Amino acid sequence: MTKPLEPLTEDYFDPACPSSVMPIRIGEKWGGMVIVLLEDGPRRFSELKRPMRNVTSKVLTETLRALERDGMVTRTAYAEVPPRVEYELTELGRTLLAPIQACRDWAAANLPSLLQAREAWNA
């Protein structure tokens, strides 16, 4: 016979837990994708959008602004005609590369099982 589980209470998580302010959350794929695309150096908006063909310009702009706000990305505007803007990872942003790679590795190893579970669920 197994021991009954303790009931979960509303104060289970520490109120000071920073999870609500974390810049990258599981499921927010665009931020993680931008970080991966900037790994090798600065890129222009159009360069980022090309491999992210399913993202709208509005959502990509919002994602870049959020990453900039959180100190993950810098935005550099050059006084040229036509204007040129580049985005680049900060040192803080670079610290996310390893955890994102761990998530990518997990997904590569477990995607078939995940898809099989979804298929079974939908059957």
Q: Which of 29, 47, 19, 49 is nearest to 107 (CA)?
A: 29
What rounded mean pLDDT belongs to the chain? 87
Q: What is the pTM of this model?
A: 0.79
CB 56 within 8 A of CB 50: no
What are the tokens at 11? 């104060």
pLDDT tens, position by position, 101-118: 998 899 889 989 989 999
Residue where the block lists tokens 């870049």: 64
Task: Please enumerate in sequence order all residues whose Cβ is within 8 A of that of 114, keeping only pairs 6 or more positions apart, or say none.
Answer: 107
Q: For residue 24, what pLDDT band results from cuts at 50, 70 and 90?
A: low
What are the tokens at 12? 């289970």
* Poorest-pLDDT segment among 25-29, 68-72, 73-77, 78-82: 25-29
pLDDT tens, position by position, 41-70: 999 999 999 998 889 999 999 999 999 999
Name the CATH code of domain 19-94 (choices 1.10.10.10, 3.90.1150.10, 3.90.950.20, 3.20.20.70). 1.10.10.10
Burial level of 70, CB count in 10 A (0-12/13-18/19+)? middle
Q: In angstroms, what CA-CA distances link 15 with 11, 18, 21, 23, 88?
A: 7, 8, 12, 18, 34
Mean predicted confidence (pLDDT) in 74-92:
94
